[in-house]
């Protein structure tokens, strides 16, 4: 075999590989005219290289994000550096359908794309290549893992019965809010609430009806909140809320509104119809509160006072007499 024939063979093999490789290869000139469109691109776009030869990429593929992609390509031409486009930054450059059996759930192919300057023998960058990798499998695995992690995180923070924050997560939010509010001296109130004589509801109507009562009260509570408030199930029939930007006067209007709504609801148990009431303890942030534990314990003291005073009422910690505060 002569040297010439050998080189021709090598060139032929290279062309064969470029055409059959499972990676998209496109070569563009300085005006974005298509000079090479390999088999992968033909298979996935459904357009043959004969049609595309010397056609302008952006004119032929109108759904490309022209402005954004041209900017990237211009910097490759000017700086003579590679550029990468990751699927996490942008799921795809070319909108190709996904035909993979395993990752059939993805509607389109996820792509990583490299833009590579092609330097001529004279050192000029007269062309660039686009190398398109199908990363649908990797993307789907990562997205599914993210979904699972999000679900697990939600489960670990949520109370199953009420779908409110569970105690641990609520406490974490409350501590964060305490830090924020005390630093900026923002008005905010902590409310503890507890369903009255709940034990007797369980005893009379059974645990399942008791659960329904807890769920209904939790639902009414969450319906009354603003986006910035943070509520949680603190214990069995006890709930806690941090009301953002709310002083004790506004907090008591909130608790009184909720209290009156709860006492109007009728619950059914076999042939019985019954109602429940709720007691509230409120503590707004002030200079006497030195840490989040005190904030919580003062709201709890106010709740205790509401129970002692006859239940179905709201008590503000600062309204309790000095002697009572000690107990
Ligand atoms: N159905 C149901 N009951 C629960 C749950 N968690 C705790 N409890 C019950 O809630 C009751 C709480 O009773 P107590 O702490 O004595 O308070 P109470 O009867 O509400 O009385 P006061 O708070 O003083 O008005 C207990 O009987 C617990 O068994 C739960 O998830 N579901």
pLDDT digits (tens, 9 = 90+) for 18-53: 899 999 999 999 999 999 999 999 999 999 999 999
- pLDDT, residue 286, reads 86
pLDDT for position 103: 54
Tokens of 321: 């007499």
Any atom of ligand 1 within 6 Å of the Cβ of 237: yes
Bridge partners (DSSP) of residue 243 are: 189
Ligand 1 neighbour 192 (Cβ under 6 A): no
Q: Which residues are catalytic?
A: 237
Say whether both 162 and 305 belong to one domain.
yes
- Does the Cβ of 157 fall within 6 Å of ligand 1? no
Same domain, 249 and 163: yes
Query: How many Å lie between the centroid of ligand 1 and the Cα of residue 199?
Result: 5
Instruction: Examine the fold and report which residue of 117, 143, 169 is the final residue of a domain before the chain moves on.
Output: 143
Q: Where are the alpha helices (DSSP H) in the chain?
A: 3-20, 39-45, 49-52, 57-60, 66-79, 136-157, 167-184, 198-205, 207-224, 248-264, 292-308, 322-326
Work out how many domains the chain is built from and give that number. Answer: 2
Which atom in ligand 1 lies closest to the alpha carbon of residue 210? 1
pLDDT of residue 66: 95
Pick the residue whose CA is nearest to atom 15 on ligand 1: 199
Report the length, in residues, of the chain: 327
Do 236 and 293 belong together in one domain? yes
Average pLDDT, the chain: 93
Domain boundary among the residues 115, 143, 171 is at 143
Structural domain harbouring 259:
158-326
- Residue 282 pairs in a beta bridge with 191, 316
186 and 321 in a common domain: yes
Mean pLDDT, residues 184-212 taken together: 95
Shared-domain flag, residues 302 and 222: yes
Q: Which two tokens stand for residue 118?
A: 């092609």
Looking up tokens 């709890």 gives: 300
Cα-to-centroid distance, 271 and ligand 1 (Å):
23
210 pocket-lining for ligand 1 (C-beta < 6 Å): yes
* Strand ordering across the sheet containing 314-316: 230-233, 238-244, 188-195, 278-284, 314-316
Looking at residue 93, the DSSP 8-state letter turns out to be S
Atom of ligand 1 nearest to the CA of 213: 1
Q: Residues 208-225, buried b or exposed e (16+ Cβ, 10 A)?
A: ebbebbbebbbeebeeeb
CATH (domain of 15): 3.30.450.20
Whether 149 maps to a domain, the answer reads: no
Indicate whether 179 and 266 sit together in one domain.
yes
Is the shortest distance between the CB of 202 and ligand 1 below 6 Å?
yes
Question: Ligand 1, from 199, 205, 302, 303: best to mutate by most atoms within 8 Å of Cβ?
Answer: 199
Same domain flag for 174 and 137: no
Residue 201's pLDDT is what? 95
The finding on whether 318 has its CB within 6 A of some atom of ligand 1 is no
Residue 197, token pair as written in the block: 């004589």
- 238 C-alpha to ligand 1 centroid (Å): 8
Calpha distance 238→318 (Å, rounded): 21
| Domain co-membership, 7 together with 131 | yes
pLDDT > 60? residue 104: no
For the segment 266-289, the average pLDDT, to the nearest whole number, is: 93
* pLDDT score recorded for residue 3: 75
- The answer to whether residues 10 and 112 belong to one domain is yes
Q: Output the CA 80–ligand 1 centroid distance in Å.
A: 72
Would 151 be classed as within a structural domain?
A: no
207 and 125 in a common domain: no
Specify the CATH number for the domain of residue 301: 3.30.70.270
Q: Judge if 77 and 200 occupy the same domain.
A: no
Q: Is residue 148 part of a domain?
A: no
């Amino acid at each position: 075999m002569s040297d010439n024939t050998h080189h021709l063979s090598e060139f032929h093999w290279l062309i064969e590989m470029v055409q059959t490789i499972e990676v998209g290869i496109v070569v563009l000139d300085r005006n974005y005219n298509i000079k090479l469109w390999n088999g992968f691109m033909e298979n996935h776009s459904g357009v043959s290289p004969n049609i595309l030869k010397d056609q302008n990429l952006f004119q032929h593929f109108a759904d490309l994000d022209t402005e954004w992609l041209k900017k990237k390509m211009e910097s490759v031409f000017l700086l003579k550096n590679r550029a990468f486009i990751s699927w996490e930054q942008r799921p795809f450059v070319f909108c190709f359908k996904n035909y993979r059996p395993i990752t059939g759930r993805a509607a389109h192919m996820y792509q990583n794309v490299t833009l590579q300057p092609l330097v001529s023998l004279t050192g000029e960058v007269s062309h660039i290549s686009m190398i398109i990798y199908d990363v649908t499998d990797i993307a789907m695995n990562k997205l599914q893992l993210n979904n699972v992690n999000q679900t697990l995180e939600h489960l670990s923070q949520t109370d199953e019965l009420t779908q409110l924050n569970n105690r641990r997560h609520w406490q974490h939010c409350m501590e964060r809010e305490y830090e924020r509010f005390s630093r900026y001296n923002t008005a905010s109130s902590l409310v503890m609430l507890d369903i009255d004589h709940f034990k007797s509801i369980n005893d009379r109507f059974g645990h399942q009806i008791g659960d329904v009562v807890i769920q209904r009260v939790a639902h009414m509570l969450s319906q009354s909140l603003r986006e910035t408030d943070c509520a949680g199930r603190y214990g069995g029939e006890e709930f806690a809320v941090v009301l953002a930007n709310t002083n004790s006067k506004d907090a008591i209007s909130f608790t009184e509104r909720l209290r009156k709504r709860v006492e109007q609801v009728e619950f059914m148990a076999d042939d019985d119809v019954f109602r429940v009431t709720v007691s509230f303890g409120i503590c707004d942030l002030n200079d006497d509160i030195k840490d989040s534990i005190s904030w919580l314990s003062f709201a709890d003291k106010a709740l205790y006072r509401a129970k002692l005073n006859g239940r179905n009422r709201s008590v503000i910690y600062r309204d309790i007499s000095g002697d009572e505060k000690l107990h």
